[in-house]
Structure 1
């Protein structure tokens, strides 16, 4: 990247030319159309790249923000790191968007894709899985056989290449490595290691695509390869930046999970029996760790039984109980016994060196959680049906991001369709420590006023009333019936999801409508989306994971029903800690946290409706507070400029119009 005077004007000019009607993008794609707001965004990115500034840019749906940051970033001539929210978005960016822009600009750039180690096949652990008796059923045996066959031809080792592999398969943890069980240079398959090959390619590339989790995992653990990569790049772009803060707090703290402990017990038993059979009672040692993990899970659950979803518990609800303290101590003791046994046979195999580090870390982590939390951190317990996870986390990513930005002379670009509901984008910039960054908001090019309507029923059960989920199902059933399906129902809780889905099935059965109800949890997310697209007479009911990152253009989706305003759960320990901090600063936590969070989440959910210039649809928010409460004005303003409907009759008439006519051109 050049520091020559005039470089900024040169980059700005070349960027504008690329987006022009006769520019590189138009020449590479006959469907390309120049958009003023896309060029405006690209020009702002070009300025940040040339002057090595920090830019936070919100770009509405349809702006084309990916091309808007890729073009100036690639034309800038420096090394570029792009981070996005999920692995699927990573693949889309790397396999589709980045090659298109690179080739359109005619730039001979080397590109690389870098994911976390859990995405890559570990040859050593695949060999271990073949000879172990740990495969739970015949389907797992078949899955392992498919992986072994694919392994012979893959170059990258990225399991995403293997079609039909269920991301929930129990085989995946057996054939991938973690930071805990990776043997590093002691691994017999180190020379062929897919993880190390991916890191080497990333270090040699001009443009590297990563994800937010990988970025923060490296800042916390210094082991993903980013520690060498980040100092060498000139431009860092965070796409889908609205997910950055939550990804960060997951990795910048500390966790102790019973699943992680059981994995350690399994690996200890496998290595002991394979390399040091008879030298120690490996079964007893592993059983001791497993027993301690189960006791910790029971102590974390306390009086709760049969919880089917994930529950977040306040730390003090359990930490003051004697059984909880005893469980932590028992875990530390079991870990210490295993650590001593592993050290005694450490020279037998490389596996034991890593096991010694893992058992030592287990003891230390158990002891740490027996002590008070660090200042500025909050603790809680994630309790699932089978596992418990102890978590200590900072309240936000402010200090980490400021440290990274202040220590470098890079350009930092943060962009998303939803970063706040004010011009300073405070919802995002404050917790990220970016209050001094330059901000930009560009709206969507879509004609929302003509193509989309929103309906908020005023006479409706309140969200906290028992009748509310049933009323949501009845209203959604009537509206979806007009379209013959083609609808999403987005709920704010998993509990409401099940109630609404059951209510919809009953409503369709009673009305004699052959509309299928697809429910989150009944199949993997990808499969549910495939089923929805394949079956137009369907309604998909989903919770948090379906509020964003879902792209259903055209007539396949013309109605989105949201059960209630997506305020964050007030009893979430992290939310409670943030409330206490805001109140200590003399601020209004409801306005500055709860309403701000709801505005962003509402924009995300509403964003599922209109995906292209010709899409038309109806958004329904089944929460009268949006129409009656004073903060409802702020939430309504956060939405795109849709036409407001006052009655269900008007909403039904709009859907009837959509059902009887094709999408507009």
Structure 2
């Protein structure tokens, strides 16, 4: 009887089904698929870690073994394989493009999966609420009647999507460019306490019940209890684009709740007599909390109050926070009681959802989970607004705690997964995601040997760094760097081919665009979707300057030929200093007797791995097909020219290994060519 590995070989082998159906054989994709298969069949707890560069064909590499495994195990009793991605683009690629080809491959190897259902499962907040859309548009039209036709069209498009389309707001943004001005996702998404008014959402819930493979996103997995992922019996979870998991955890498990926002929230119960009385008591407790914070003698100079830097005042604040939580809970319960025989409006549901989440956060604030969690009272630097802040510098570790509760088999894959600081091992990834207690059953790094080609041009070390001065509100760029970067872009354009310029902000894009007097590049401006510029960029010898093209941009000419021949990276995409993290890290070190070295390691986990990942993703925008040849121009002189430089040497891990010789022999912009050196 054939095994899973036998069928994987039949699909990915040199004369396998993929080749017979017009695909190409690569030993690296074959090796990758076998690694996925091995992770799926392990009887005990499994952790698979697979890094695969662009060109491997990761999605087929995990989808085909997953489909084979399901087909060979009809006795799974509705156990599912969950495949999670960061981008909606990849989810749609899997369903719309990969799935039809996978069915052909399965038929070719003798397995029929026509009855096997592969379906989306997304959280409520990924979907439109038609009622909330109408309410929001009604309010805007009331203050600006001239926008009535525009917003009526928006309502009609949303209604069509909810009735006949996906009902997902991200798909609308992808197709139409953006939401109308003045409308945010939080204004129009479906809420947890709200009765669904989106047929597409209801249909997708019914469909996923019988699905064998579920396609979802990282946020839905991390918030599994809220999104319903935890309701499934899961055989394995595969996380593609896994390098994004840490930042998603950080965004979800670090929060600040502004006291003014809590006050505005309580206005909703003004017409409910019992709830209103309790809300007034809550408002009094909020006023007491504000008074205690403002009593600090250096109130106008502080950013945070904690048990470490202001123990007496912070202790008093804790009493007030506990009172706010208690009175919020009573207010919410009274409101629910008053509404139990009534139909909730969208605004009622919004109040219940927001207040429930707020109560949970205030509870966590009073009882931090571990030694890496910090409760603080925040004070905004300019307006001096007060907030209750919950900071967890190791929030990413919660990924492991959540995922291990959902499944015994966890598979992480990405083009940038191994640790740049530790010789391309996976140790830091396991540690930062809370997976150190699981032995890795599969660790694999694969890079295609014959997929595309990259040449490099690096900025001369004589060029100054890009930034002269920066604070939380503004950045001042170095004039000499701007001039030399513009010159580099013009030099790339002289080839007659299309040039993609990747920046780190809309402001930087705008300033660089203004450096061109003799030609007019396409400059992606703030508030406009990148999609709006792509058709014009397909004209010959165009320049597109954008901060939004680092990932997911896969552009070809209309006939399928290569479009992007030059990628200019304006500067290394370092994350701006995060005062919250810096403050929390310092407090943690003082509180836990950690050294400065340990503090620096925390900062590394939270920033540098992202920088290397983003650089590598940016370079990959020009190599989307086996025969592509792209020149990567890096305008930041901080990028190392050799392995002997100190400081930023880890950035070399962004360079695909197969192109390292090319990189070390790169042309140095504005200098004479150097002698060739090969490793």
TM-score by length of 1: 0.75
With over 3 angstroms needed to count, the CA separation of the structure-2 counterparts of 1:445 and 1:390, relative to structure 1, is: farther
Is 1:558 aligned to residue 565 of structure 2? Answer: yes
2:341 & 2:241 partners in 1: Cα distance? 47
List alignment gaps of at least 5 residues for structure 2. 74-79, 108-112, 470-475, 675-679
2:649 & 2:625 partners in 1: Cα distance? 27
Contact conserved, 2:234 with 2:407, CA < 8 A, in 1?
no
Decide which of 215, 221, 228 is 2:221's aligned counterpart: 215
Which deviates further from its counterpart, 471-480 or 520-529?
520-529
1:446 & 1:332 partners in 2: Cα distance? 60
Alignment partner, residue 499 of structure 2: 487
List alignment gaps of at least 5 residues for structure 1. 1-5, 305-311, 654-665
With over 3 angstroms needed to count, the CA separation of the structure-2 counterparts of 1:625 and 1:94, relative to structure 1, is: closer
Alignment partner, residue 656 of structure 1: none
User: Deviations along 1:607-640, whole A, 9 cap, x unmatched?
Assistant: 3333323232123141336247414443225412
Alignment partner, residue 461 of structure 2: 458
With over 3 angstroms needed to count, the CA separation of the structure-2 counterparts of 1:360 and 1:458, relative to structure 1, is: closer
Decide which of 415, 418, 438 is 1:417's aligned counterpart: 415
Decide which of 545, 562, 569 is 1:540's aligned counterpart: 545
Contact conserved, 2:249 with 2:399, CA < 8 A, in 1?
no
With over 3 angstroms needed to count, the CA separation of the structure-2 counterparts of 1:645 and 1:385, relative to structure 1, is: farther
Q: CA deviation at 1:606?
A: 2.5
With over 3 angstroms needed to count, the CA separation of the structure-2 counterparts of 1:607 and 1:316, relative to structure 1, is: farther
With over 3 angstroms needed to count, the CA separation of the structure-2 counterparts of 1:344 and 1:93, relative to structure 1, is: closer
1:25 & 1:556 partners in 2: Cα distance? 26
TM-score by length of 2: 0.74
2:599 & 2:140 partners in 1: Cα distance? 54
Is 1:600 aligned to residue 601 of structure 2? Answer: no
Is 1:200 aligned to residue 198 of structure 2? Answer: no
Alignment partner, residue 659 of structure 1: none
Is 1:75 aligned to residue 68 of structure 2? Answer: yes
Q: CA deviation at 1:451?
A: 3.6
Decide which of 147, 151, 174 is 1:141's aligned counterpart: 151
Q: CA deviation at 1:525?
A: 3.3
User: Deviations along 1:346-384, whole A, 9 cap, x unmatched?
Assistant: 345232885774575377368558757543214686979
1:623 & 1:217 partners in 2: Cα distance? 41
Give the SS at the match of 2:344.
helix
Alignment partner, residue 552 of structure 2: 549
Alignment partner, residue 338 of structure 2: 345
With over 3 angstroms needed to count, the CA separation of the structure-2 counterparts of 1:559 and 1:318, relative to structure 1, is: farther
Alignment partner, residue 669 of structure 2: 648
Contact conserved, 1:398 with 1:430, CA < 8 A, in 2?
no
Alignment partner, residue 119 of structure 2: 112
With over 3 angstroms needed to count, the CA separation of the structure-2 counterparts of 1:342 and 1:132, relative to structure 1, is: farther
Contact conserved, 1:473 with 1:500, CA < 8 A, in 2?
no
1:339 & 1:147 partners in 2: Cα distance? 35
Equivalence map 1:174-185=2 (5 Å)? 174-179=187-192, 182-183=193-194
1:428 & 1:398 partners in 2: Cα distance? 10
Is 1:361 aligned to residue 356 of structure 2? Answer: yes
1:303 & 1:174 partners in 2: Cα distance? 33
Decide which of 174, 178, 182 is 1:166's aligned counterpart: 178
2:578 & 2:184 partners in 1: Cα distance? 36
Alignment partner, residue 16 of structure 2: 23
Contact conserved, 2:118 with 2:214, CA < 8 A, in 1?
yes
Is 1:121 aligned to residue 128 of structure 2? Answer: yes
Contact conserved, 1:15 with 1:72, CA < 8 A, in 2?
yes
User: Deviations along 1:553-590, whole A, 9 cap, x unmatched?
Assistant: 56533333334444444544336656866993785655
1:262 & 1:141 partners in 2: Cα distance? 30
Is 1:38 aligned to residue 29 of structure 2? Answer: yes
Contact conserved, 2:238 with 2:411, CA < 8 A, in 1?
yes
Q: CA deviation at 1:129?
A: 5.9
Decide which of 626, 636, 643 is 2:652's aligned counterpart: 636
Contact conserved, 2:123 with 2:226, CA < 8 A, in 1?
no
Contact conserved, 2:391 with 2:584, CA < 8 A, in 1?
no
Alignment partner, residue 444 of structure 1: 448
Equivalence map 1:219-618=2 (5 Å)? 222-229=225-232, 232-252=233-253, 256=257, 264=265, 339=332, 342=335, 345-347=338-340, 349-351=342-344, 357-358=352-353, 361=356, 364=359, 368=363, 371=366, 373-375=368-370, 376-378=372-374, 391-396=389-394, 399-403=397-401, 406-407=404-405, 410-419=408-417, 420-421=419-420, 422-435=423-436, 436-437=439-440, 438-446=442-450, 451-465=454-468, 469-484=478-493, 486-492=498-504, 494=505, 498-499=507-508, 501-502=510-511, 504-509=512-517, 512=518, 514-533=519-538, 536-542=541-547, 545-552=548-555, 556-574=563-581, 577=584, 584=594, 590=600, 593=605, 596-613=609-626, 614-618=628-632
1:46 & 1:384 partners in 2: Cα distance? 52
Aligned-pair Cα RMSD in Å? 4.7
1:314 & 1:99 partners in 2: Cα distance? 54
User: Deviations along 1:101-135, whole A, 9 cap, x unmatched?
Assistant: 23431322101112221232335545766877876
Q: CA deviation at 1:96?
A: 1.8
Contact conserved, 1:122 with 1:193, CA < 8 A, in 2?
no
With over 3 angstroms needed to count, the CA separation of the structure-2 counterparts of 1:388 and 1:86, relative to structure 1, is: farther
1:132 & 1:571 partners in 2: Cα distance? 36
1:651 & 1:65 partners in 2: Cα distance? 40
1:48 & 1:22 partners in 2: Cα distance? 24
Is 1:51 aligned to residue 42 of structure 2? Answer: yes
